[in-house]
A and B are shown apart, each in its own frame.
Chain A
Amino acid sequence: MKKRGRGMACMWYPIGFTVAANPSAATVKVNTDGTATLLTGTVETGQGALTVLGQIAAETLGIATDDVHVVSADTDATPMDTGAIASRTTYVTGNAIIKAAEQAREILFEAAAPMLSVKPEQLEARDRKIQVMGFPQQYKTIGEVAHHSEIVIGRPAIGSGSYNPPTVEMDPETGQGKPFSTYVYATQIADVEVDDETGEVEVLRIVATHDCGTPINPMLVEGQIQGGISMGVGFALQEEILFKDGKQVNPNLTNYIMPTSLDMPELEVEMVDNYDPTGPFGAKGAGEPTAVPTAAAIMNAIYDAVGIRITSLPATSEKVLSAILEQKAA
């Protein structure tokens, strides 16, 4: 018979390396038509890093996402970056990009100030314009200013910056210290059905609410959460590298069982409204934490459905059935 159950799990997860320095550097070049090029040493691994980093550069310069071309991942051309790891790209590389773009923007402000008969500190960059704060009717387009700065004044608008999350070494005895700059938080709730005669677990639905600070690109954050959950479902129920005499027995996708489209539940994904003052425009990160609470939520749902506590992953149908039978025997 199929039995329904629900279970929740929450988690916390840090951004960046544990204590160790993990800097990023970036260079932003504004073209004379007001578009820009961002140079970053990070690598796009599918998460949408280059899109998000482009958006951060665009935001700082007051231009649109499409105005920024991102050049990445060439040690001959791009600045150093610790890389696509530890959910650090939006936060660490993003902060470096803001510094670089601000430096370029400052050059634009200094060029625009006399053009607009104000001081540089009175200016802001918005909607592809350099405009006077509190009196936006008075503006020059970024293209005009960038052209003027580079071609007339002879000062190209280019900036470089770097960022490393501030941490404090952990005490070797007590572990006390500040290993990370910031953390994100999340909850997932799973709705499952357990067949108590075969042990088969079907995950019907997962609700996920994740804090990532400001979502720079909500569509990409949703994608991270959905993908992380699929990894969590595999971790919970099916995936395991098995060994015999020290050799893997299932090193292929026939017998290493990861979720297919038919194995994924309905997903309902939301972001928790939050703002981290240390992050770029309040952002933290979203990559890894999405895969963290899924298995725990599913295990708690299995408990709710059939009253068994799975203490070792994955909860294969065989393991679940044998726990059910043990419980009946007891």
Chain B
Amino acid sequence: MIVKLKVNGEIRSADVPPETTLLKLLREHLSLTGAKLGCDVGDCGTCTVIVDGESVNSCLMLAGRASGREVTTIEGLASSEQLHPLQEKFEELGALQCGFCGPGMIISAKALLDKNPEPTVFEVKDALSGNLCRCTGYTKIIEAVLDAGRIMSTSEAKS
């Protein structure tokens, strides 16, 4: 089946078998390898992408269902001039170690901050609880999300 969708602002299409997941479509057909395959059953969150504003496990979504929708992956966050505040803060605070959870973690954080740029620590933990990390103990990740939220809410206030 042919799947046509908008990925990071670009219209893309691919001819895939119907059982293809959105994750496979992104990684194998659209060469977007930022979303990772960590468990393939929705437990680890490394495959997280945003579909129409909501974070989802792309390993649990069939590609056909993403047809006609807007998908944002980690590759769609930065512009050619600047990093997304989350990317900036994750780098600055050393929030990622092996980095494998990073794309999913940042996408989950973006989905949170887009709705709630000034979350509490609990809200951040809650929003990230579907993204497992084995390296960091989540501490610096949570700090980076809170910091990025502050940048996003002040820049929004200014504009």
- Determine whether A and B are in direct contact in the complex, meaning some CB atoms lie less than 8 angstroms apart: yes
A contact residues vs B (CB 8 Å cutoff)? 45-48, 219-220, 222-223, 226-231, 252-254, 258, 260-262, 264, 267
Contact call A223/B126, Cβ cutoff below 8 A: no
Residues of A within 8 A of B97 (CB): 46-48, 223, 227
Cβ-defined partner of A227 (8 Å) among B41, B124, B134, B142: B134
* Interface hits, B115-155 → A, CB 8 Å: 124-126, 128-142
In the complex the two chains form, what is the Cα distance from A254 to B100 in whole Å?
A: 19
B contact residues vs A (CB 8 Å cutoff)? 39, 41, 43-44, 93-94, 97-100, 124-126, 128-142
Cβ-defined partner of B94 (8 Å) among A48, A260, A264: A48
Besides the known contacts A253-B41, A253-B44, 15 further A-B residue pairs in the complex with CB atoms under 8 A apart: A46-B98, A46-B100, A47-B135, A220-B94, A226-B139, A227-B97, A227-B134, A230-B134, A252-B41, A253-B39, A253-B43, A261-B126, A261-B129, A262-B125, A264-B125
Residues of B within 8 A of A48 (CB): 94, 97
Residues of A within 8 A of B43 (CB): 252-254
Residues of A within 8 A of B94 (CB): 48, 219-220, 222-223
Closest 4 CB pairs of A and B: A46-B98, A226-B137, A230-B137, A253-B43
In the complex the two chains form, what is the Cα distance from A286 to B126 in whole Å?
A: 30
Contact call B136/A227, Cβ cutoff below 8 A: yes
Residues of B within 8 A of A228 (CB): 137
Contact call B128/A261, Cβ cutoff below 8 A: yes
Cβ-defined partner of A230 (8 Å) among B93, B136, B142: B136
In the complex, how many angstroms separate the beta carbon of B44 from the nearest chain A beta carbon?
A: 6
Contact call A261/B125, Cβ cutoff below 8 A: yes
Contact call A222/B140, Cβ cutoff below 8 A: yes
A219, A229, A261, A264 interface centre (most CB from chain B within 10 Å): A261
In the complex, how many angstroms separate the beta carbon of B72 from the nearest chain A beta carbon?
A: 22
Contact call A226/B136, Cβ cutoff below 8 A: yes
Contact call A262/B134, Cβ cutoff below 8 A: no
In the complex, how many angstroms separate the beta carbon of A230 from the nearest chain B beta carbon?
A: 4
**Which chain B residue has the least Cβ–Cβ distance from A256?**
B43
Contact call B137/A254, Cβ cutoff below 8 A: no
In the complex, how many angstroms separate the beta carbon of A297 from the nearest chain B beta carbon?
A: 15
In the complex, how many angstroms separate the beta carbon of B141 from the nearest chain A beta carbon?
A: 8
A264 in contact with B44 given A48-B97, A223-B94 (CB within 8 Å): no
**Which chain A residue has the least Cβ–Cβ distance from B99?**
A46
B39, B41, B133, B137 interface centre (most CB from chain A within 10 Å): B137
Cβ-defined partner of B140 (8 Å) among A223, A252, A262: A223
In the complex the two chains form, what is the Cα distance from A231 to B41 in whole Å?
A: 22
Contact call B131/A226, Cβ cutoff below 8 A: no
Residues of A within 8 A of B138 (CB): 226, 230, 261, 264
Contact call A253/B134, Cβ cutoff below 8 A: no
Residues of B within 8 A of A222 (CB): 94, 140
In the complex the two chains form, what is the Cα distance from A217 to B130 in whole Å?
A: 30
Q: List 25 A-B contacts (CB under 8 A).
A: A45-B98, A46-B97, A47-B97, A223-B94, A223-B136, A226-B138, A226-B139, A226-B140, A227-B135, A228-B137, A229-B137, A230-B136, A230-B138, A231-B134, A252-B39, A252-B43, A253-B39, A253-B41, A260-B128, A261-B125, A261-B128, A261-B141, A261-B142, A264-B139, A267-B137
In the complex the two chains form, what is the Cα distance from A121 to B61 in whole Å?
A: 67
In the complex, how many angstroms separate the beta carbon of A304 from the nearest chain B beta carbon?
A: 23
Cβ-defined partner of A260 (8 Å) among B129, B135, B140: B129
Residues of A within 8 A of B125 (CB): 261-262, 264
In the complex the two chains form, what is the Cα distance from A241 to B19 in whole Å?
A: 31
Residues of B within 8 A of A223 (CB): 94, 97, 135-136, 140
In the complex, how many angstroms separate the beta carbon of B31 from the nearest chain A beta carbon?
A: 24
In the complex, how many angstroms separate the beta carbon of A204 from the nearest chain B beta carbon?
A: 13
In the complex, how many angstroms separate the beta carbon of A61 from the nearest chain B beta carbon?
A: 24
In the complex, how many angstroms separate the beta carbon of B61 from the nearest chain A beta carbon?
A: 18
